[in-house]
Structure 1
Amino acid sequence: MAHFSSSHLLFSLLLCVHLFFFNPANAIKISDGSEQWGYVQVRPKAHMFWWLYQSPQRIDNGSTPWPTVLWLQGGPGASGVGFGNFEEVGPLDTDLKPRSTTWLQKADLLFVDNPVGTGYSFVEDESALVRTDEDAAADLTTLLKALYNSNARLQSSPLFLVAESYGGKYAVTLGLSIVKAVKAGGLKLKFGGVALGDSWISPEDFVFSWAPLLRDVSRLEIKGAEEANSLAEKIKKQIANGQYLEATNTWSELENVISENSNHVDFYNFMLDSGEDPVSTSTVSLAMGTSMSKYATYLSSKASSNGDINQLMNGVIKQKLKIIPKDVSWAAQSNLVFSALSNDFMKPRIAEVDELLSQGVNVTIYNGQVDLICATKGTEAWVQKLKWPGLQNFTNLERTPIHCEGIKGTRGFVKSYQNLHFYWIIGAGHFVPLDNPCVALKMLGDLTQSPAAPAAVTSFS
């Protein structure tokens, strides 16, 4: 299986670089063209960091162009440049060793620290933080205009948005912004579609899934489930009344109730305890403005025994990049970003998915079997709320099993109708590329129709 060689990538860490300019973005480019990165000032006092990898397996084929994937991390406030890149799908792990399951096998990869204030992205004043998912989409659209509008090579590569967790809300709002900007002539790119991985699209449906699911697997009993369902009902009313900040606070209370009554179930893999899983160091709920979200705590703990991601990002990687301001320190999770978005956190984005489908955009939904926080039960519930005309035909279809060479048993299922595609990924929790990389790669090949991809599991229209 081809991938970046160890010598090539480790040499890149020490390789001399030269400056060139995307207008208006300062950028640095590795001399062999395999990597480039930079900042785009998306608004006054708001600076977004991006990092683009060119795949060594890239095939420029006119009939099937090589794709680019924009990875959108969740949180909100978790770093895609750190987590998505070094923990999940990028070319190197946190020990700077080549990842055999990197998504560069299927596409070029673009990582961003989004929204501004996350990771290496920064604001000069807290008033420049985004307050809504639409604000985040506007900033990302400005970034894409800076990168794409004067770059014919990028314009020839269809762009796919692949999201995880809260990143799904960014993906659907950005997807609509891209469609609008392309139609208006303000953005020059080919839009391939969106993929929503264990995505926080409908918070109401997820909180109602928790108690029944945990009862089914014996992690809650009747009393605890009733207490949890009572808080879910409270959240439903708050969302209906537009009390999104109050719903966020009740969500935090509900997570505490779930944790206490389940003996601290792992929110990212309900088959485990938070203390049982050596890579999960905490399932303590987010106390607004005072502690790290469980999402970032869990992912940062997935660094290998030798690779500490905080040390990595503030050490050798910051030195390599050269352009990170001295006063900007990479952090796993920005509580300022989370707090700024707290009024949008519990707001559903089902209507945006519907609009993407109606616009003919390919929408792929994928979910890990043992995820709790964005449980498959909840995802299936919000999908059934779509007003898309093809929903009934989609629902009536049989699923196709997915198998991986050399691995026994069923590894997943897939169902596809017109431009809606759904993957059930067996054995995976919240972080699908980590838990079931084989199916994740198969899915990515199907999504992008990469020239290097093996025979597709299902055909996309």
Structure 2
Amino acid sequence: DGWVDPYNMIDYANLLYNLDFIDLKTRSRFLKIEKRIKSLIDQKKFVDAFWALDNYFDADLTGYPPLVQNVTGISFYYNFIEAQKNDSDDEMIYYLNQPKVRRSTHVGNLTFNDQNNEVERHLMVDELLSIVPWLEVLMDHYKVLLYNGQLDIICAYPLTMNYVRKLKWKGAEEYANADRKQWYVGKELAGYSKTAGNFTELLIRNAGHMVPGDQPLWAMDMITNFAFNRPFKDRPHK
């Protein structure tokens, strides 16, 4: 669910078209905008690229709805089943900021926030940089798990696959030829897995960007299997 390679992941025009949120005319318009953003990245004008992306897609700092929201009516990019953000995060924030919880987590007087615009302003350049070279090194030497919720938009599975298929690592050929398997948690089809060497990529059904919040049991199974080198079970079980 990570923002790893912006250049290849900025492909919302095709994603939204394939999900039926936009038509061909709008797709063409969005593709032109994305081409401009990628041109700015190529020119290493990362701050300009940030603002272009912010106006186009997520509006973290612009203060008004981005183009994608104005066109589709969707303002919550973490789960396309929900047009607007639900209040589940508010409940979490309230809980974490309670005095007894703050004492038990040893955070002193610090207030928990799920997003801080001031921090993001200092990360404008970083947001448009690719970390693929570091990921490739990790994949050659350590276990790596990439997972995506099927209902996510902002870091959707197809956007992740845009860069995964281009990764240069020692297991690339094995991965390209590997079979995708069903993944079951108990008797429920939780998603689909694909493994090559130390690398596993996972698609989780009925989940958006926040997989542990949408499917906590399946997320626990995913984390446990990965941490303890257990296989992702490919048939129903007790």
Q: TM-score, normalised by structure 2?
A: 0.86
Once the 2 structures are TM-superposed, how far is the Cα of residue 392 of structure 1 from its aligned partner? 2.2
**1:388 match:** 169
1:338 aligns with 2:120: yes
CA distance in 1, matches of 2:215, 2:92: 23
**1:107 match:** none
Deviations 1:32-71 (A, max 9, x none): xxxxxxxxxxxxxxxxxxxxxxxxxxxxxxxxxxxxxxxx
**1:268 match:** 78
Residue of 242, 251, 257 corresponding to 2:67: 257
Once the 2 structures are TM-superposed, how far is the Cα of residue 376 of structure 1 from its aligned partner? 0.6
**1:317 match:** 101
CA distance in 2, matches of 1:231, 1:214: 14
Q: Structure 2, unaligned stretches of length 5 or more?
A: 58-65, 234-238
Tell me, yes or no, if the aligned pair for 1:228 and 1:257 is still in contact at 8 Å.
no
**1:403 match:** 184
1:200 aligns with 2:11: no
Bigger strand share: 1
SS at match of 2:179: coil
Matches within 5 A, 1:131-170: none
Residue of 7, 19, 28 corresponding to 1:226: 28
CA distance in 2, matches of 1:329, 1:422: 35
Q: TM-score, normalised by structure 1?
A: 0.46
SS at match of 2:127: coil
**2:63 match:** none
Tell me, yes or no, if the aligned pair for 2:9 and 2:160 is still in contact at 8 Å.
yes
Q: Structure 1, unaligned stretches of length 5 or more?
A: 1-197, 275-279, 282-300
1:429 aligns with 2:208: yes
Matches within 5 A, 1:172-251: 198-208=1-11, 210-251=12-53
Once the 2 structures are TM-superposed, how far is the Cα of residue 395 of structure 1 from its aligned partner? 1.6
Tell me, yes or no, if the aligned pair for 1:204 and 1:232 is still in contact at 8 Å.
no
**2:139 match:** 357
Bigger helix share: 2
Once the 2 structures are TM-superposed, how far is the Cα of residue 330 of structure 1 from its aligned partner? 3.1
Q: Which has the higher contact order (CA 8 A, sep 6+)?
A: 2
CA distance in 2, matches of 1:323, 1:422: 34
- How many correspondences in the alignment? 225
CA distance in 1, matches of 2:38, 2:107: 45
Matches within 5 A, 1:8-157: none
**2:88 match:** 302
CA distance in 2, matches of 1:219, 1:416: 32
**1:456 match:** 231
CA distance in 2, matches of 1:244, 1:421: 31
Q: Compare 257-266 and 427-436 and name the one that shifted more.
A: 257-266
Seen in structure 2, the aligned counterparts of structure 1 residues 313 and 362 have a Cα distance that, compared at 3 Å, is same
1:372 aligns with 2:174: no
Tell me, yes or no, if the aligned pair for 1:314 and 1:329 is still in contact at 8 Å.
no
1:414 aligns with 2:166: no
- Percent identity of paired positions between Structure 1 and Structure 2: 24
Tell me, yes or no, if the aligned pair for 2:180 and 2:192 is still in contact at 8 Å.
yes
Deviations 1:87-107 (A, max 9, x none): xxxxxxxxxxxxxxxxxxxxx
Q: Compare 416-425 and 217-226 and name the one that shifted more.
A: 217-226
Deviations 1:365-402 (A, max 9, x none): 11111110001111001111211132122122111101
Once the 2 structures are TM-superposed, how far is the Cα of residue 221 of structure 1 from its aligned partner? 1.3
1:257 corresponds to which letter in structure 2? L
CA distance in 2, matches of 1:252, 1:372: 15
Give the structure with higher Rg (CA): 1
Residue of 324, 329, 336 corresponding to 2:111: 329
